[in-house]
Amino acid sequence: MADPDRARIVWRKSMASASSNCVEVAFGEESILLRNSKELSGPVLSFTHSEWAAFLSGVRSGEFDSAMPES
């Protein structure tokens, strides 16, 4: 992603975030972008809307919950 494009992106992070150690998300017409809030000029991950929807569905259904038993 070119630097001029980054200036126009509106990044959001959870209101529940109490620190700067968060993942930020930006919603575009063609993609969903993720970045580390501590590295604003660092790498950005890009997902299609269908990939993002599949990820959210997996999170909501518990697909990514830890397989480790609770102690």
Q: What is the pLDDT of residue 25?
A: 93
Q: Is the dihedral of CA 17, 18, 22, 28 positive or negative?
A: positive
pLDDT tens digits for 11-67? Answer: 998 777 766 678 899 998 899 999 988 888 899 999 999 999 999 999 999 998 876
Q: Are strands 32-36 and 45-47 parallel, antiparallel or unpaired?
A: antiparallel
Structural domain boundaries enclosing 43: 30-61
Residue 47 within any structural domain of the chain:
yes
Quick check: is 43 in a domain?
A: yes
The count of domains in the chain is 1
- For residue 18, give both structure tokens: 């109490």
Pure H helices in the chain = 3-7, 49-61
Would you say residue 4 lies in a domain? no
| Neighbouring-strand partners of residue 55 | none
Please state whether the predicted TM-score (pTM) of the whole model is above 0.85: no
| 57 found inside a domain | yes
Residue-level pLDDT at 66: 79
